[in-house]
Amino acid sequence: MGNNNEDFVKEITNIEEDFAKWYTDIVRKTDLADYTDTKGCIAIKPYGYAIWENIQKVADEKFKETGITNLYMPVLIPESMLNKEKEHVEGFAPEVAWVTYGGNEKLDERLCIRPTSETMMSTMYAKWVKSWRDLPILGNQWCNVLRWEKETRPFLRSREFLWQEGHTVHETAEEAKERTLLMLDIYADIIENYLAIPVLKGKKTEKEQFAGAEATYTVETLMRDGRALQAGTSHYFGQNFTKPFEVKFQNREGKEEYAYQTSWGISTRLIGGIIMAHGDNRGLKLPPKIAPTQVIIIPIAMHKEGVLEKNRELYDRLKKNFRMEIDERDNYTPGYKFNDCEMRGIPLRIEMGPRDIEENKAILVRRDTLEKETVSLDNIENRISELLEDIQNNMFNECLKRREEKTTVAYSLEEILKNLEENQGYVKTMWCGSRECEDKVKEVTGAPSRCMPFEQEHLADTCAICGKKATKMIVWGRQY
């Protein structure tokens, strides 16, 4: 809050010099989040939380259009419940927080804070499903989860984070698989068309899939520094959980059968993605569709008679159509305020002073290109709508261009390493499908596989790592 340094934008670390430090500068200086006394956990401040609310709103509507209903399960999971699915517990037990006391009493059984809720959902669904008529169950919860990470970074890897976790059960494998891919498509839609970040859609390798899943699908995004961020995942479980948790139903032939299950999630990590995919040396750059403030009015020569009134009038008028802010602070200069709203990533700003008012005009300045234009107040709504749409599209296209510049092809392990060292980004290669080759790439380059893209290309006949027959094109990339 209060900062009297006129040149304060210089306080943000240069993005080319130290991307990691630039990132934390942005998070803190734009009031997205703050560190807390609970190690590894952040406080999401109103400006950051408002972005999350806008993402939630879009996602929740899209989920519900496909029949999803929200529900809420306990945050505490008994140890014996977590232990029921072997792969799952091995994946998660090392990183859960354990409750051992309730008030002054030691508990008979430890309870973990949910790292994810497959076990609890499956336990409850087993009680709720009797017949095929009870299927599908299309549940989702918006909640907090906790994973005891060693290294944490605001939004990207926080011990506690907010997310939605959808859990569905179905009569047939086919229907469950369809749901898995449907939710992936919804994630892609949200991330591309609202967050303005292009996604790479594909299937995770067995090594990289979710603990307990039969298949994990992912939407991968690329940040400005060329590192990848897994933005959302959707899992098909087959009967991996319904068997140990006994989610059984009487099928249409009157026989008992295990149901088929999915789960899928996106989290506050997306806020980190927005910062790193779009931001620049001036600060944050928010896509208009999810920006808490789409347009800010900065009155010029505010002390002059009638100026503030006219600016307020415009604010009241535009507030009907856009998410608006007006900066009436009297202890900052307009110049400071321009920097400030650029740093906060507000897509469009309006400047209006005595002369503009006289001429029935205002100046519009875009955050993405910094282009200025003077427009008549008469039709200003139309022009703002056009500009916001254009900014949204331009941000997506810029991001796509950067991704394309950072996507390369490699034909050997050495080349994968070389490309990553020079350029980071995505490296596409052919792959034989073996875990051995995958491990080797990780070991040598530090890059795990991102996914086997749905859009396959035939780059060569042989695996870039071992030279044996290739079965798939795969994408590698260092990650957040």
Binding site for its own copies (CB under 8 A): 1-2, 34, 36-38, 41-46, 48-50, 52-53, 69-78, 81, 93-104, 110-111, 113, 120, 123-124, 127-131, 133-134, 139, 143-144, 146, 148, 160, 162, 329, 331
Q: Give the integer Cα–Cα distance in Å for 426 and 409.
A: 8
Nearer to its own copies, 111 or 186 (CB): 111
* Whole-number Cα distances in Å, 7 to 335, 336, 369, 460, 476: 9, 8, 21, 53, 40
Nearer to its own copies, 291 or 416 (CB): 291
What stretches of 268-371 adopt beta strand conformation (E)?
295-299, 324-326, 348-352, 361-366
- Using an 8 Å Cβ cutoff, are 46 and 34 in contact? no
Q: Least Å distance between CB 61 and its own copies? A: 12
Nearer to its own copies, 159 or 227 (CB): 159
CA 19 to chain centre: 19
Nearer to its own copies, 298 or 474 (CB): 298
Nearer to its own copies, 72 or 454 (CB): 72
Q: Least Å distance between CB 397 and its own copies? A: 32
Residue of 253, 66, 82 lying closest to 175 (CA atoms): 66
Q: Peptide bond preceding 136: is omega within 30 degrees of 0, i.e. cis?
A: yes
Nearer to its own copies, 70 or 193 (CB): 70
Q: Least Å distance between CB 52 and its own copies? A: 8
Q: Exposure pattern of 95-108 as b/e (b: 16+ CB <10 Å)?
A: ebeeeeeeeeeeee
As a whole number of Å, the end-to-end CA separation of the chain is 29
Q: Least Å distance between CB 146 and its own copies? A: 7
- Using an 8 Å Cβ cutoff, are 325 and 296 in contact? yes
Q: Give the integer Cα–Cα distance in Å for 27 and 434.
A: 40
Nearer to its own copies, 112 or 432 (CB): 112
Q: Least Å distance between CB 98 and its own copies? A: 4
Inter-axis angle of helices 307-318 and 380-405, nearest 10? 70
Q: Least Å distance between CB 45 and its own copies? A: 6
Number of neighbouring beta carbons within 10 Å of residue 360: 12
Nearer to its own copies, 70 or 394 (CB): 70
Q: Least Å distance between CB 115 and its own copies? A: 10
- Using an 8 Å Cβ cutoff, are 287 and 55 in contact? no
Q: Least Å distance between CB 47 and its own copies? A: 8
Nearer to its own copies, 133 or 469 (CB): 133
In DSSP notation, 189-237 reads: HHHHHTS----EEEE--TTTS-TT-SEEEEEEEE-TTS-EEEEEEEEEE
Nearer to its own copies, 36 or 374 (CB): 36
Q: Least Å distance between CB 201 and its own copies? A: 29
Phi-psi region of 396 (alpha: psi -120 to 50; beta: other; left: phi over 0): alpha
Q: Least Å distance between CB 139 and its own copies? A: 7
- Using an 8 Å Cβ cutoff, are 135 and 149 in contact? no
